[in-house]
Each structure stands twice: as C-alpha cells, then as structure tokens.
Structure 1
Amino acid sequence: MSKLYAGDRTIDGIVVTVDGEPLDARTGSRCYSRNGFEWSYEGPEPSQLAYALLVDHLGDAARAERLQPAFMRSVVANFQNEWEMTSADIDRVLQRLA
C-alpha cells in the first residue's frame, strides 16, 4: 500500500504528515533532536525527519538508522518549503543509495 508523506512550513510551524495524519517523530527509538522536524539543510532536525520517514516506510528501526545519513543528505536536505513523497519515491531513492 502506497503512503503519501508531506511537509509544509505553516504560520503555526512545521507540519509533517503521512496520509494526512501527523508523522511520529520516533524519538523513543532514536533521538537526533527533540526540537521537531526540519529540512532544506543538513543537521539534527533533518536527521530526525529522515529517520522518522524511513522507520514509517520500512518498519525497521535498525535499517532506518543505517540509511538515515545518506537519505537525509540526498533527500531531506534538498526539500523545498513544501514537499510530498510517496512510498514509491522513497523506494526509488533507497535503490539508488544501496
């Protein structure tokens, strides 16, 4: 089943969803930052977003942690103010990074 991930910078702050629901930050399993999500640069908040996206998509925290640095640098650090990614988009990126 394909999921739709989306992020936006709103007047109320950063919003990241999966299929319209808030994306779990997964700070309980791996905490890069307690300051929430961010993107468009390399750092702890984009690392947390990359990790959360990968855990949600893969269902495997250990694999998500291994893939997070490359996924953050190649994808999350390059997001615009508003972005969308599908499960298929993430799979294509992961094939390139493998």
Structure 2
Amino acid sequence: MKTDSTNHPRAAVQDDSEQCQTNADHVEYVGMRVDGTPVVLKLTEHERLSPDRSLDLVRHSPAGFEWGYTGSGPAQLACALLLDYFDDESVAHQYYIQFRNEVVSQLACDGPADCWHLTGDDIEAALGEFQDHHALTPDGGVASTSLPANWSAVSRTDRTVFQRQDIDHYVVLGDGSDEWLLLLCAQGDRAYPAPLDHRTLPVENDPASAVQALVAESNDLVEPEEDI
C-alpha cells in the first residue's frame, strides 16, 4: 500500500504493510535498528544518512539519531532530514523542532520489515502544516535586541514559547486569570520537558524582564565549548 501524503504526517509516515524498497522517482528515507543501533538510509541515493552535516547547524546529539519520542536524538534526526531533503539551512533551522514534535516523535519500527518509511511528500505535507505557526520576534514581528540572537519566539493560540535554537531550552509564557506564569524548561533526552525555573508576576505587568531573566539563566546553565 502506497503512503497517502495528503493525510496528517503522524499517520502518513507509517505504513505497516510496506516493505523496505525504493522508488527511483521519489525521495524516500527508511529507519531501522541494526544490532540495536539506529540507522537511517536514503533509499533513492542508496546511502546512509549521517548526522555530520546537521551537527554543524545544531548540536543536540553528537552520538547520533533517535526517533519515537521528543528529545535530543530525534531533534538531530529532524534537522538532518530537513537539511538533506531541502538542502536549505534556514528551512531546517526554523522547522526542525516542530518536525521532531509532529513527525519524528511518531516514527516506529514496526510492520513486516520492522522499519519506518518517510517520503519527500510526507516531509512537504508536514512543512505545509507548519506554516500556520510562523516564527515571530518577541515584540510582534519587528526585529528586537531584547533577546540573544539564538532565541526566537513562536506564537501559539494560548501561550508564547521562546525557543533556544542551539539547545532544547524553552521559556513558556502563559497568562492565567490574574498572573503571568513563565517556565524555563529543558527537553534533553526526556519524553517530557523538565522545569528548570519559573517566575510569576501580576498579569498587568510587562513580562519582558522576566523572560530576559530566564533566558539569561538558560545561557548560564550551558557550558561553553572548549577551544581545541
């Protein structure tokens, strides 16, 4: 049965009856475990997908890829897939977290061939859905110097998430009935975010300074890479 790319990507990337075979007219990736090690192949090029190129863009998991949950290994795979398919660093950098959360976290090695398949059509369908969640700067679209360049803000229907681009740290800003609640979280290898710190302040207050304080704390928690 051929994958229907018009479906939601979480359903479209799985096909229990499909065997591990290539279609020369169509980009296709397949993932499997070899002696317990995650392996991702680009079938149309008959080559193994390496994390090396994506590690130059974001460094979540130098040890390699993973899938089936949200974490650093799946984040690296999401970035590598988008970078390989679109050959565009800006597209990969902007969308890999959403792609991890919506697509890579749902991949599973099952079916007769004990592998997962992801086609170019699946990737493009997922990216099409992400257009509704476009990136915004904290002040509503005008370039801002209030946060470091490696942070951006993504608008959601009920909250704003300030996302660090080079590591899985987030500041979640939500408004309750009478106060702002701000959480600094780290995803890492966990299935769910781990709260690192939080702030609360009256809802009539401008939360910008509290966001900046949590962003600074995130920066302090990350050890700089040593010069070799």
TM-score (norm 1): 0.92
Q: Does 1:95 align with 2:128?
A: yes
What secondary structure does 2:108 align onto? coil
Give the structure 1 partner of residue 58 of structure 2.
30
Cα displacement string for residues 45-75 of structure 1 (whole angstroms, at most 9, x for unaligned residues): 0000000000001111121011011000000
State whether residues 57 and 93 of structure 2, in contact with CA within 8 Å, keep that contact through their aligned partners in structure 1: no
What secondary structure does 1:30 align onto? coil
Give the structure 2 partner of residue 5 of structure 1.
29
Q: Where do 5+ consecutive residues of structure 2 fail to align?
A: 1-24, 110-114, 132-228
Offset of residue 12 of structure 1: 4.9
What secondary structure does 2:58 align onto? coil
CA distance in 2, matches of 1:85, 1:59: 17
Give the structure 2 partner of residue 18 of structure 1.
42
Larger displacement relative to structure 2 (26-35 or 65-74): 26-35
After TM superposition, the structure 1 = structure 2 runs for residues 37-52 of structure 1, keeping only pairs within 5 Å, are 37-52=65-80
Question: RMSD of the alignment, in Å?
Answer: 1.3
After TM superposition, the structure 1 = structure 2 runs for residues 58-73 of structure 1, keeping only pairs within 5 Å, are 58-73=86-101
What amino acid does structure 1 have at the position aligned with 2:60? Y
What amino acid does structure 2 have at the position aligned with 1:9? R
Q: Does 1:86 align with 2:119?
A: yes
What secondary structure does 1:2 align onto? coil
Larger displacement relative to structure 2 (46-55 or 25-34): 25-34
Give the number of the structure with larger relative contact order, counting CA–CA contacts within 8 Å between residues 6 or more apart: 1
* Higher Rg: 2
What secondary structure does 2:65 align onto? coil
Give structure 1 regions of 4+ aligned residues with deviation exceeding 2 angstroms: none
More helix by share: 1
Offset of residue 29 of structure 1: 2.8
Larger displacement relative to structure 2 (49-58 or 11-20): 11-20
More strand by share: 2
Offset of residue 39 of structure 1: 0.5
